[in-house]
Structure 1
């Protein structure tokens, strides 16, 4: 039986990955900050699917968090066959006026944590010549997004990084997939500080997290390098920026996302 490690597993897309992988009889190592939420999810999955579930309550923004996580997994004696790098944060607002520490924390969590955990677990997969990594990117990865600049840039990194690793590791029997959903759960936009009208817009094009994960696992099974889950709007958001002048795309998102800032044009 395979074992999957999922970061950001206590809610949203991470919890949906846990649910659907457990249904496939995959053993799990669930990682998030909230021990209570992790324990409740683990108890439910054990009861429903009779699968082995370990939990690790770890704030991945803490110093040496990835080292601590890796050593804890080693102590559990679990060989990780599937790594799901799902944890991440966003922040809405004018970069020059933003909280510097929060922007650096976003880079650390969205990029450095993904790179570090992948580098730690990937060699074992290559040695066993089986396994995979699923990295959560976003349709934001395909364009610059004023007032959402750092988040979009981190997801562009994740997409490029994942596609490169997909090519590097195919001959080792290891698969890497970038998942690029659009809005998938309003709480993300609320937590990121988006104005109410943008939260409402996101709700209207929201893709259920269950659909995101279902599409991701289907693409992973097919050994695809990238998947854009959900309906037609998300592929459009990913494709159009490639066809238009980059300045036009940035200006468009400045107009849309800057509506409540008084800084459109």
Structure 2
């Protein structure tokens, strides 16, 4: 499968942010789209835009992937419709900012249910058919937070570390299968998720502009990495430098630095 083949791309969390921007990237290359998120209205609006702007064939399939059995039901519905997925973009995710002890237990569980369990279930249902056909691509949206502990984003960072680790393991398992898998690890990006976090912590809204990535630029880098079969993609020079520095820094010092930086947020 080349970048010029007509392919069917399933994008989760497609109703906003990086997922919405990634859907536009794939629509621009002529792909068919399956859009998944909880908000049917937002998905329908995006589908209409993609059809009008790119002539895309789009299916809208609302689902809450944090719910047990949601990935199974989605895969079964696509089989009934005879829609085979060539590219899976696991973008759906949630964030909760604040001290661990100040966040309700159900919110911690909600992050795990979607960011970890939902993503894993999607892989479990959609990777085997790709391997059977001998071609496919997967892009898991992780975060730069996957590379280090992040106080006040403890559970979120831990879920993204899981996504990165799983992606790297599967990249080796899938070598030679015709299926590639990679992780997009953006830094702070101008999305609705950042807006929501900034409402809870106004200091986030005062971050310097050079630290905040443009959502379309981040999506474009993720799209290109996916099509090239790159395993890890960190968009932005500042983010890449931070990642390299983080891997070279002793863990105890990294924790101290992270704690100092995030304490005031």
Confirm or deny a common fold (TM above 0.5).
yes
CA distance in 1, matches of 2:140, 2:34: 16
2:217 is aligned, of 208, 211, 222, to: 211
List aligned pairs for 1:1-265, cutoff 5 A. 1-192=6-197, 194-201=200-207, 203-230=209-236, 232-260=237-265
Q: 1:50 to 1:250 in 2, by over 3 A?
A: same
Where 1:83 maps in the other structure, the secondary structure is strand
CA distance in 1, matches of 2:108, 2:183: 23
Checking the alignment, whether the CA contact within 8 Å between 2:67 and 2:118 is kept in structure 1 is: no
Render the CA deviation track for 1:143-173: whole Å, top value 9, x for unaligned: 0011110111111111111111111112111
Where 2:139 maps in the other structure, the secondary structure is strand
Q: Which runs of 5+ in 2 are unaligned?
A: 1-5
Where 1:171 maps in the other structure, the secondary structure is coil
Q: Which runs of 5+ in 1 are unaligned?
A: 261-265
2:3 corresponding residue in structure 1: none
CA distance in 1, matches of 2:145, 2:18: 17
CA distance in 1, matches of 2:182, 2:65: 22
Checking the alignment, whether the CA contact within 8 Å between 1:183 and 1:202 is kept in structure 2 is: no
TM-superposed deviation, 1:96: 2.1
Alignment length, in residue pairs? 259
Checking the alignment, whether the CA contact within 8 Å between 1:183 and 1:203 is kept in structure 2 is: no
- TM-score, normalising length: structure 1: 0.93
- TM-score, normalising length: structure 2: 0.93
